[in-house]
Each structure stands twice: as structure tokens, then as C-alpha cells.
Amino acid sequence: MSFVSEFKTRASEKSRDLRHRSVIRTALRSYEVVRDKRKAAFQSWESARQAAAETKWEAINHLDEHLVALTSKLEARGTKVHWASNGVQAREIISQILRDKKARTIIKSKAMTSEEIHLNHALEKEGFTVVESDLGEFIVQLRHEPPYHIVFPSMHLTRGEIKDLFQKELGDAPSDSPEELTMVARRVMRQKYITADVGFTGGNFAIAETGMISITENEGNARLTAALPKTMITLMGIEKVLPRFSDLALFLPMLATAGAGQPMTCYNTMYSGPRQPGECDGPEEWHVILLDNRRTELLADAEQRDSLHCIRCGACLNVCPIFRNVGGHTYGTTYSGPVGAVITPHLRGLQDWKHLSNASSLCGACTEACPVKIDLHHHLLQNRRNASASEPAFFERLAYKIFAFVASRPVLWSFAKKFGRLTQPLQRLVTGGVIDPARQWTKTRDLPPIAPESFKEWWAKRKESQAE
Amino acid sequence: MKNVETILSEREKILGRIREALKVSAPPPGSHDETSAHSTTESPASHAREWLPSVGESSAEQFALFTKNAADLKADFQLLASRAELPAALKKIANDEKWSRFASHGGELSNFASASLGLPVLETDKGYDVQEMEKCDAGITECDALIAQTGGVVVTTRSAGGRALSVLPPHHIVIARREQLVADLPAAFALLQQKYAANYPSMISFITGPSRTGDIERILVLGAHGPKKLTIFCF
Ligand code: SF4
């Protein structure tokens, strides 16, 4: 099956799934309430957004300089910086470090980049044990499925399902209370931090000025991952840079507010090296891997370059009417929702993924929600334009040609209208069925009736009656 | 390990692609908002203070704000009249929670706190056994700042006994002085920069409330992997 037909099948299944709908609604309803409250606490959320957009613009449009500065600062304090053009290279760098360290167990905190390069699968095939420590990631790992949402990986599951999962996989599920289930995961994980050979993290921001990687999390799992194992590996996209340390004063609360309606995420931690002289703990070695994986192609598209400003807060997913109906797994991509629909065609091929740009009502809710003001819904339109320019759809073009031909000839047009009014009752007899000529439309929607009288006809009549 | 040349060349390839891509410039984000206009020499975020949640002028207002924010986060904030009140307040927690041992680090305030408890203590300063720390009932640390705007604290490897002490034991106790309260996030970053710019601690952590998760039905649970409790003493 092609990506598009898989998408359509899953989308029509999910949008009819009432259980799925109620789980997602419940999860997101509270999100909207708290987010609006946090946004209102800002003296000026709009000015903050504008400044955030300008800051990321500055970072991305001088990306080379910032990466060079970041790297030299990191290296000066003993961090090993690696560069990977694609997933294969990144995986190879990571495996090589693990082999050199004779590592067996890797404890991971949440990193979407590792999903992007299918890291867990590759490492497990090589015989390493990979443990996801973020609760949501741990749950989806036990279910052998990808995260449902870039920020809330297990939001599609109910507590009952998680209880059954823990019972089956861990033999430990005292009840279905979220509290007790969380404590099960806590117990399982505690010893793993201590015994793991390598800690693996992603990164939310990279500060060029000071050579730091900032990691945002609520659970404390990334803190422990970066504190206890002897070796630490951090994988992140090259677009994560911010120019200045003080920029975080704006970005940290904005990420928390847009992403989860929090004033600040519980732990925001800046790492500037492995354990330094005089420090009592921390990894002896720290490897930072900067991943391109076709981000430079997105960079080369000046029109959509701002999609690299994304701080992966997930706000655009949360407000998207399509995401809320078809769900995260339907996309079949690492990054789902509006931002996924914008960037996936660049990262994985326009023709294979152009259908995502059509999975949008163009309502603009995503653009409005985005804390860094990415013009998401216009980028969806641009993707549509680019896709049809590079590979025009024959029937669509034919249909529009015929339409244009008829519509620009008044005689033909008024004949077509009359013909339509006459034949529409016949169409209604078969509506939605296989012989319905308008089936693609009527399968899921009503076909509005053609007006009994056009404006032109009405106008002509009116003039006549006035003349009398 | 790959030889140095291939590593370098991957770096050069990526930087090369970036430079090539940036030859075409992208329009800066359009400013529709008069209030956000800024001069070109300043960084766009330099006025963050004017947009972030307001914090009040006086120190009394800011303490009140910190108290409210900490309570919202489910942290326990205890503003003491003087340092002399600390031992009793600390002992009460230790008794209520039946501590048998705790971990701490060397420092004027933390030493004072540790000494007042009379329990076995694991000091992290010269290295420690992680399994031993895991068995501790609490971690007592100092901090770099309290932030009124968020109700959170800032710790570093240097101010708070390393990376694990503030996150591994189930109860994190912070001992702070009143002068350590800063108004907002920009002030906290400025303070860190002024204090450490020559040689940053390898970890700086903004801790905003006890560890938490909402990964099961978005219902808040405290103590996901880090401390279930966060108590902040200030005098
Ligand atoms: S595109 Fe904007 S709203 Fe969507 S995840 Fe990225 S930063 Fe958040």
C-alpha cells in the first residue's frame, strides 16, 4: 500500500472510532484551559511570540556561525562533537561509542530525533538493551509502537489499558490509578539509571554563546540519565540553536506555556560539558551528535525556512481539527500534525507525503497557536502548489480545463446550470453509491442543491418588473 | 572510532550545505505589532521582562508571588523569621517522614542544616556511592536563586552538590537566604552569567516544583522519577 492509501484507511477508521475521540477530547480539553490561563498571565504573549520568531530567525539564518561557535565551546570543555548527515551515520556513530565502551544497557530520555533515525530498533538488533525512561515513552515502548504525540507519547491510552499492559509486561499493576501506575514505572526505572552503561538524551535548545545544551522535562528522568551513567550521548537536530544564554529566559516559559500550559516545565537543565574538575558526579564522557538528515534541504527553501524555527512544543497538534480526529499514528510519520505535514515532505520526499498537506482545513489554528509564529497553514498551501507543479494530476487538470472552458462561455455556462438543475434530482437517487458521478464528494458529504435561480436570472427579472 | 578526517569532512559537508542554502535569504518575520519593534543592535529577546508574567515592584510582593507560585506547583515553601528556626522545622519533617539517613553537600547553609539533624549523612563533595544515595530519604542542598516569577529554584553542580543530589532522593530540601530571591527569569539568567561566565558549572538546572508526570490520561502525578517532594526553606 502506498503512504497515501494507508493514511486514508487509518484516517477513516480513526475518525469513526468514538472511543479514540473521547480519549483525545478529554486529554486536550484540560490542555486548552490551562494553556489559555498561562498565556493570559503573560504581559504580552504576542510580543513574546514576535521576539521568539525574530530570535529563531536570527539563529537559523546564521546557522553556520552558531554551530561553529557552539561546537568550539563544547569541545573546549571536553565534549566530543560528532556530525551526521543522515540517520545511518548517526546510528553508526552511536553504535561505535557503545562498542568502544563495551556497553550493554542504554537508558534513554525522550528524544524525537532518535525516533527519526529509528535508533531503538537498530540498537536492539545489535544486541543492546534500550530502556525508555520517560513514562509515556516507556509505555509505548512496551506496546512496540511509536509515540502518538511529540510531547504526550501515550495520550491515546486509558489507565485501564496501561494497567493491563503493565500486568502483562511487568507483572506489576496494583490498580488502575495513575499514581500507582506511575510508581510502578518509577520502581522499575530506579535501578536502571544506576546500572546503565550509557545515558542517552535529546536536546531542546543549543546555546551558541555559551556552548550548552538545554533539556526540558517534567519527570526528572533526563536529569538522572545525565547524572548517573559514565557515558552520555546527546542527539539533536542542527536547527536547535539559540544565539544567547539569556534567550532561554523567553523560550523556556514559552515552550512550557504553548506545549502544556505550564508556567515552566519542571526541569530545564543546561549542560555545558562532561564532569568537570572539582565536580563530584556526572558522566566522564559526553558525546553530542548534530544531525542534519535533510534539514539543510528545508533550509534551502527560503519560503519555508521558518519551519526550522519549530521548538517542538506540540501546540499545533493540540489545536488541529484534523489531528484531533485522525490521531497521531495515522500520519505514519515521526512528526505528526500540522508541523509534521509541513516538514515531512521535505525530509522524506514530496510526492510520497504530499497528501499530508491536503489533510488540513486551512483554518489556521496551527499558525495562531505556534509560539514562534511559523506560517504553518500557508506552508501547507505551498506544499500543495509545489506538489502539483512538479507532478500535475492529470484528471484534476482536465477537470479544471473543462470548467474554465465552460465557465468562460456564457451560453455554455447557462446551459450547464440548467442541465445541472434538471439532472440533480436523478443524482440524488444514487447519492454516495458506486454509480454516483460525484461519489468522491458525496461519500462523506452532502452535495448542496444548485440554486433554483441564478443571480443573473434574478437580476434580469427584477429589471423587467421595474420597467413595468 | 572513525578517523579524524571523515569526522571533519562530515562537519565540512554539513556546514557547506548550510552556507549554500543561506545564499538565498529568507524574509525576517513580519512585525505587525508596534510594541515589539526593537533596535537592530539589541537582541530581539532583550525586552523579555516586559512581556513575561508581571512580578510586582517590592520585595514583599515578590515573596508573596513566590509563595503563591510554589503552592501552585505543590512545593512546600517555608519562609522562616531567622536561621535559628531552621533546625526545628527540619527536624519536624525528618520525624514525620521517619528519615534514617540523608545526603547533603558542604556549604555554610547545608552544613548548618545537616548538623542540626543528628542523622547519618552522605556527603557528596568528594564523590559518593550511588547505591548509598539511592537509599537516602532526602537530599539537602543550597541553591543559586529563587525565582518569584515561576516559584522555582536554580541549582548548579557547584551550588547543590553535583548532578544527582537534587534529583535522586525522594525529598529535595533547599536551604536559601532571602537575598537569593530574584524577580524574574531574565534576572536569574543575568545572575548566572555574572556569577559563572568565566567557568560555568557543567550543569545548571531550573527546578520548578517537584518531579511530575501527566502521561497517564493527563492526570498530574508527583514524583515520576525525581523527588516526590520539594521543600524550600528561606530565611
Ligand atoms: S510548529 Fe510551532 S506550534 Fe507546532 S510544534 Fe513547532 S513550535 Fe510548536
Based on DSSP, count helices (H) and strands (E) in chain A, helices before strands.
24, 10
* Beta carbons within 10 angstroms of residue B32's beta carbon: 9
Residue A47 burial class via C-beta count within 10 angstroms: exposed 0-12, middle 13-18, buried 19 and up: buried
pLDDT at residue B36, as a whole number: 44
Ligand 1, from A39, A305, A339, A346: best to mutate by most atoms within 8 Å of Cβ?
A: A339
Residues A95 and A211 in one domain: yes
Q: What is the DSSP string of A339-401?
A: HHHHHHHHHH-HHHHTHHHHS-----HHHHH-TT---HHHHHHHHHHHHHHHS--HHHHHHHH
How many CB contacts within 8 angstroms connect chain A with chain B?
A: 328
What pLDDT, on a 0 to 100 scale, did the predictor assign at position A98? Answer: 97
Yes or no: say if B130 and B179 are a contact pair by the CB < 8 Å rule.
no
Claim to verify: residue A30 and residue A49 sit in the same structural domain: no
Please, what are the domains in chain B? Answer: 56-234 (3.40.50.10420)
- In the DSSP assignment, the letter for residue A164 is H
pLDDT of residue B4 exceeding 80: no
Exposed/middle/buried for B112, CB within 10 Å: 0-12, 13-18, 19+? middle
A150 Cα nearest atom in ligand 1: 5
Q: Decide which of A293, A325, A341 is a domain's last residue.
A: A293
* SS3 of residue A459 by DSSP: helix
Contact A300 B209 (CB under 8 A): no
Residues A56 and A139 in one domain: yes
Going residue by residue through chain A, which has 468 residues, state the pLDDT in tens, using 9 for 90 and above.
789 999 999 999 999 999 999 999 988 988 999 999 999 999 999 999 999 999 999 999 999 999 999 999 999 999 999 999 999 999 999 999 999 999 999 999 999 999 999 999 999 999 999 999 999 999 999 999 999 999 999 999 999 999 999 999 999 888 999 999 999 999 999 989 999 999 999 999 999 999 999 999 999 999 999 999 999 999 999 999 999 999 999 999 999 999 999 999 999 999 999 999 999 999 999 999 999 999 999 999 999 999 999 999 999 999 999 999 999 999 999 999 999 999 999 999 998 999 999 999 999 999 999 999 999 999 999 999 999 888 888 888 898 999 999 999 999 998 998 898 888 888 888 887 888 878 878 888 888 888 888 888 899 999 998 887
Mean pLDDT of B207-223: 95
Angle between helices B108-117 and B86-96 (to 10 degrees): 50
Q: Which of A281, A271, A285 is nearest to A210 (CA)?
A: A271
Q: Does the structure show a pLDDT above 50 at B37?
A: no
**Residues A60 and A25 occupy one common structural domain:** no
More confident residue, B181 or A457: B181
Question: What value of ipTM does the predicted structure carry?
Answer: 0.94
B214 to chain A, closest Cα gap in Å: 8
> How much is the pLDDT for A393?
80
User: B3 falls in which pLDDT band (50, 70, 90)?
Assistant: low
Provide the percentage of residues in chain B whose pLDDT is more than 90: 87
Query: Is A59 in the same domain as A139?
Result: yes
Q: Ligand 1 pocket: which of A39, A311, A331 to mutate (most atoms <8 Å of CB)?
A: A311
Indicate the number of domains in chain A: 3
Q: Is A224 in contact with A215 (CB distance < 8 Å)?
A: no
The per-residue pLDDT for A27 is 87
Nearest to B226 among A219, A281, A299 (CB): A219
> Do A376 and A248 share a structural domain?
no
Residue A288 Cβ < 6 Å to ligand 1:
no
pLDDT in tens, A275-311: 999 999 999 999 999 999 999 999 999 999 999 999 9
| Mean pLDDT rounded to a whole number for chain B | 92
> A22: exposed, middle or buried (C-beta count within 10 Å: 0-12, 13-18, 19+)?
exposed
Cell of A78: 571536553
Q: At CB < 8 A and 24+ separation, what contacts does A407-410 make?
A: none
pLDDT score at A139? 96
Which residues in A lie closer than 8 A to residue B212 (C-beta atoms)? 218-219, 266
Q: What cell was used for B214?
A: 501527566
**Does A222 fall in a domain?**
yes
Instruction: Pull the grid cell for residue A165.
Output: 499492559
A137, A127 in Cβ contact below 8 A?
A: no
Q: What pLDDT shows up at residue A105? A: 96
- On whether residue A418 sits in a domain, the answer given is no
How far is Cα A2 from Cα A219, in angstroms, rounded to an integer? Answer: 38
Contacts of B13 in chain A (CB under 8 A): 83, 85
User: Which among A45, A178, A273 has CB closest to B221?
Assistant: A178
The reply to whether A308 falls in a domain is no
Both A283 and A145 in one domain: the answer is: yes
Q: Determine the pLDDT at residue B38.
A: 47
Asked if A230 and A371 sit in the same domain, the reply is no
Does the beta carbon of A343 lie inside 6 Å of ligand 1?
no
Query: Domain boundary at A236, A262, A293, which?
Result: A293
pTM, entire model:
0.92
SS3 label, residue A132 = strand
Round to whole Å and give the CA distance between A83 and A90.
Answer: 8
In this structure, are residues B216 and A162 in contact, taking their beta carbons and an 8 Å threshold?
yes
Q: Answer whether residue A396 is part of any domain.
A: no
Q: Domain for residue A309, yes or no?
A: no
- Inter-chain CB proximity A55 and B44 less than 8 Å: yes
Residue A32: phi and psi, rounded to 5, are -65, -40
User: Between chains, do B36 and A46 touch, taking CB under 8 Å as contact?
Assistant: yes
Distance (Å) from CA A366 to ligand 1 centroid? 8
What is residue A129's DSSP assignment? E
Longest dimension (CA), chain B: 67
User: Would you call A123 helix, strand, or coil by DSSP?
Assistant: helix
Pairing of strands B229-234, B102-104: unpaired
How is B63-108 classified by DSSP, letter by letter? HHHHHHHHHHTT-EEEE-SSGGGHHHHHHHHHHHTT-S-EEE--SH
- Comparing alpha-carbon positions, the chain A residue that sits nearest to B12 is A83
Q: Is residue A370 part of a domain?
A: yes
Query: Cα dist. B229→A191, B143, B166, B168 in Å?
Result: 20, 16, 11, 11
- Same domain? A261 vs A231: yes
For ligand 1, is residue A157 a contact (CB within 6 Å)?
no
CATH number of the CATH domain containing A125: 3.40.50.10420
* B117 within 8 A of B102, measured Cβ to Cβ: yes
> Are A1 and A75 in the same domain?
no
Provide the 8-state DSSP code for A170: H
Residue A309 Cα, ligand 1 centroid: separation in angstroms? 8
Instruction: Find out whether the beta carbon of A310 lies less than 6 Å from any atom of ligand 1.
Output: yes
Q: Is-contact A117 A213, C-beta < 8 A?
A: no
Domain check: are A285 and A319 in the same one?
no
- Closest-CA residue, ligand 1 atom 3, reads A370
Domain that holds residue A243: 45-293
> How many CB atoms lie under 10 A from the CB of residue B206?
27
**Domain boundary, last residue among A261, A293, A325:** A293
pLDDT at B32 over 70: no
CA dihedral A139, A142, A145, A148 (to 10 degrees): 0
Is residue A417 situated within a structural domain? no
Same domain assignment for residues A103 and A147: yes
pLDDT-based confidence at residue B6 (cuts at 50, 70, 90): low
- The minimal CB distance from B215 to the residues A139, A179, A373 is found for A139
